[in-house]
Structure 1
């Protein structure tokens, strides 16, 4: 869109100082004639763009114009990366900085671009948390984020599935996934057979921030692993978690209503099961194969389909469903 290109053109001139029309055209992947029109549009909107004539000519901004976009503090500049997520920014302790940074940036823009930012804010909103899920309070999130930035060791009391533990952690990053905050960290310098991968290299682990029961930032600093890439780590960890999540495949016979419910209740795997479903039988029921988690989780999930589904296999899952249904029948039996 043209407004996006005008912003890019303005920032190119501001950051590089002097560029010719062909250089701008190459950078923005447009024609030189388009650059001429865009320069004129910027000038008309109040941006002081000047053309230098001659063989070494080109375009530049009036000296001092850059000062209109200075004055950002480090926290304000960093908060702009969360401009579409005011809730998460506030969780990280950057709510006020984000508001101030947006006001400074908007005041620095020419009228045409300032109006576009206002319209975008009116028409688009990003809500990170998932529906119908309580992510839990995160009172230590801002402190953990500061430790990530300062590379300070954290001393935490953490609630795991198997009980509570004390840990010294070297925090490497913070991730927001589906409305839930996670801390990516290494264990402290002490020997740990669970996280030591050999050759003195400590494995990176993920901790849910809402399960931090206590947190203390120590004076001890640490060195980040050379070449550690938070985005790459998270992508790999997510794939491994997905691979570990599903431990088997259930063979099901479903009514038309259950078939419609499958994507709603089981997400992507449910949708894939629907797409590969067999032909309806005389009663309109179809057979599908659905990836499932551990047997207790599978039983709980499949019971939500009620009488609209029948588990055909594997035999151990069908037997587990039979036992669960028997317990329910006895519990709700009329004397």
Structure 2
């Protein structure tokens, strides 16, 4: 722990003009006397630490003393800082914050960030993310209620192994003890999450997650063709950015979307109905019938309005 503290102090001094001994002592939960000894060790190691007197005094590195940017090769330092800052905000990760401070000691050619990252944590409770991160690091079983795509609610015990951010949502991958298999769960559908005190051992060989399963259904995709009015272009393109698009002289667009079993894909129905009169399904005909039935059911709810 002492070596880790010494390294952290070095980077903090490199990244700040002046840091006082009381501030360092409070941050690292040691006495000021220990900080004084640490500073002596850092100086003995060849780092040019300068002591400043007065009410705003403390310790700092000699002006112009910086780390060599070549340590990171061709990486864009500002971009790395931006991504790590987003992660440290979501997870309150002190280690990520420490890495940020080390990166900030490296001089960069451009001060304006070239990248901005928003992980949209308002969609998922940050506390749930932090709990899952803690359970992964501490290898603790998590228990939660889960609502699947069929709207069935079950209680799950899980050995969480990895967090993913994809398709604008957070997912957790791990071993589901309830189903005795590796599964992926969407965090927005997880309810009443809590960490148990039971721990689990390491998983030395993890199965391939989505890659192998993707290959199985790649050949079973069916094209969904929709006609999009000029007033709904942006909304539809946001939802299906990779789909084939054909624009027409009147400002409308025809979009072809490959979907696995579209007649059973309730998530697709919800999206298409959300476009209102701005989009019309042309193919397959059976999907048109399903959407018409869904609209009729919705209208019945408002017959008395």
> TM class, shorter-chain normalised?
0.5 to 0.7
Distance of 1:171 and 1:180 partners within structure 2: 17
Residues 257 and 116 of structure 1: is their aligned pair in 2 closer, same or farther, counting only changes over 3 Å? Answer: same
Shift of 1:65: 5.8
Residues 300 and 103 of structure 1: is their aligned pair in 2 closer, same or farther, counting only changes over 3 Å? Answer: closer
Counterpart pick for 1:116 among 97, 108, 124:
108
Counterpart pick for 1:320 among 290, 294, 299:
290
TM-score if structure 2 supplies the norm length? Answer: 0.54
* Contact residue 136 and residue 161 of structure 2 kept, 8 A: yes
Counterpart pick for 2:200 among 204, 211, 221:
221
Residues 104 and 332 of structure 1: is their aligned pair in 2 closer, same or farther, counting only changes over 3 Å? Answer: closer
Q: 1:222-279: CA deviations, max 9, x gaps? A: 13133x37xx635556x479859x964334455566667642343222xx1x14x7x8
Unpaired stretches in structure 1, ≥5 consecutive residues: 1-62, 70-79, 108-113, 196-202
Distance of 1:295 and 1:234 partners within structure 2: 18
Determine the structure 2 residue equivalent to 1:126.
Answer: 116
Shift of 1:186: 0.8
Distance of 2:116 and 2:187 partners within structure 1: 22
Determine the structure 1 residue equivalent to 2:156.
Answer: 167
Distance of 2:102 and 2:252 partners within structure 1: 61
Residues 300 and 93 of structure 1: is their aligned pair in 2 closer, same or farther, counting only changes over 3 Å? Answer: closer
Distance of 1:138 and 1:172 partners within structure 2: 18
Determine the structure 1 residue equivalent to 2:88.
Answer: 89
Determine the structure 2 residue equivalent to 1:103.
Answer: 101
Distance of 2:255 and 2:115 partners within structure 1: 38
* 1:272-291 equivalence runs, <5 A: 272=244, 274-275=245-246, 289-291=256-258
Distance of 2:82 and 2:274 partners within structure 1: 39
* Contact residue 295 and residue 317 of structure 1 kept, 8 A: no
Distance of 1:310 and 1:217 partners within structure 2: 48
Determine the structure 1 residue equivalent to 2:223.
Answer: 249
Q: 1:149-170: CA deviations, max 9, x gaps? A: 33x2314123223444433322
Aligned length, in residue pairs:
228
* 1:287-298 equivalence runs, <5 A: 289-292=256-259, 293=262, 294=264, 296-298=266-268
Distance of 1:101 and 1:310 partners within structure 2: 50
* Aligned-partner SS, 2:240: helix
Q: 1:15-64: CA deviations, max 9, x gaps? A: xxxxxxxxxxxxxxxxxxxxxxxxxxxxxxxxxxxxxxxxxxxxxxxx95
Shift of 1:171: 2.3
Distance of 1:219 and 1:321 partners within structure 2: 46
Structure showing greater radius of gyration is 1
Determine the structure 2 residue equivalent to 1:20.
Answer: none
Determine the structure 2 residue equivalent to 1:3.
Answer: none
Distance of 2:101 and 2:255 partners within structure 1: 54
Counterpart pick for 1:205 among 183, 208, 212:
183
Q: 1:54-82: CA deviations, max 9, x gaps? A: xxxxxxxxx9569998xxxxxxxxxx987
CA RMSD of aligned residues (A): 4.6
Stretch deviating more after TM superposition (259-268 or 138-147): 259-268
Instruction: Give the structure with the larger helix fraction.
Output: 1
1:144 aligns with 2:161: no
1:233 aligns with 2:209: yes
* Aligned-partner SS, 1:115: coil
Distance of 1:262 and 1:156 partners within structure 2: 37
